[in-house]
Structure 1
């Protein structure tokens, strides 16, 4: 058992070096995030009609947003991060962060259950099996809870959900709770960064982004040391 755990740990560290492309993708997504936010900064009045409509139908925006976020995890890869500043402009940062957390968590749980109970035939309809297999050596049913939380904070939530459901025998409750906790920091940082950007509070935006970067780097560092 100890030998197996050491092998998993070595492979985990080795595969960490393969994530450079994910940082590049993250930069592209950040650019899209800023691009989508610009209309709210310059032409906020153009969206007044939409805001009024949603005030009259307050359940539409949360329901649609949560559904889209769930689909973005289950049908990987579908990037909906740029949608967050749009929602911030409509319903505010706090509500957006909460709804994004719900959507990402539910989506991750669905992906996990699909992988665990239906296997390759159904997984292949939602995500590349080749991509899933890259994470085979990273997952283990012996992963400590805190490590699983950190994994949720630094690795792609969609692919890793399928990987844990398919390759590990980790308890469902452990995975679900770790996913919920692990998604909260990112959703709140993104939502409040979007709020600061579209309101022109650039100093707050810098503080929020730096805070988010610190959380990511600390999580990454701790994860590498504990695995």
Structure 2
């Protein structure tokens, strides 16, 4: 695929999607950080609300500045925790795949100019190590979902491994964020507390594993195969 055409296609599709959502629900870009505004927009779509949520999640991943957490919270408030999580997972997975393939099509030089020097940190290691790195990053909210998707596309990680690691990793966060949305809609503070504790436990597991692995690894073997 021609690099300039790939960039143009993503920009056009992204702008067209945002413009359509804005026309359909009197929705502005500033509202993308407002769960209540997203909730109202999704409700305006009626039976096509799930498709609107999925489309917003795809845009949030591919178009990096758009936040995804408010979309997930709005989905939980409108559709409930589990149905909302399904729509969020579908959208996030599709967006991550598009970002991964787009990075492969563009190449490192073009992607670096587009997204900055953060991509230079990249991903190095064996296929298993790369796959685990992607999976672990999906569990950690402080690691950019979007940037990791593009960085993975520039690595040697196989597509099917990326897709599986992403899918498995986004399930806990999706369930948690849609849970928050549902809780805020019902003002059930105790459920929010238990949900927060559960997510903290899940997201801490990769860090504990990495710490355990680094302690077990012999000092003379500090590199991946």
Q: In structure 2, do the counterparts of structure 1 residues 50 and 75 end up closer, same or farther at CA, with 3 Å as the change threshold? A: closer
Q: Is 1:132 paired with 2:111?
A: no
Verify the 8 A CA contact 1:140 1:164 in the aligned structure 2: no
Verify the 8 A CA contact 2:76 2:177 in the aligned structure 1: no
Query: 1:203 aligns to what?
Result: 190
Q: For residue 68 of structure 1, give the secondary structure of its aligned residue in structure 2.
A: helix
Q: For residue 69 of structure 2, give the secondary structure of its aligned residue in structure 1.
A: coil
* Structure 2 unmatched runs, 5+: 1-31, 215-225
Q: 1:83 aligns with which of 59, 71, 76?
A: 71
**Alignment RMSD (CA, Å):** 2.9
Identify which of structures 1 and 2 has the higher relative contact order when contacts are C-alpha pairs closer than 8 Å and 6+ apart.
1
Using the alignment, how far apart are the partners of 1:128 and 1:141 within structure 2? 25
1:148 Cα shift? 3.5
Q: 1:101 aligns with which of 81, 89, 94?
A: 89
Verify the 8 A CA contact 1:77 1:158 in the aligned structure 2: no
Normalising to structure 1: TM-score of the pair?
Answer: 0.68
Q: In structure 2, do the counterparts of structure 1 residues 75 and 209 end up closer, same or farther at CA, with 3 Å as the change threshold? A: same
Normalising to structure 2: TM-score of the pair?
Answer: 0.69
* Structure 1 unmatched runs, 5+: 1-31
Query: 2:18 aligns to what?
Result: none
Give the number of aligned pairs: 180
Query: 1:71 aligns to what?
Result: 59
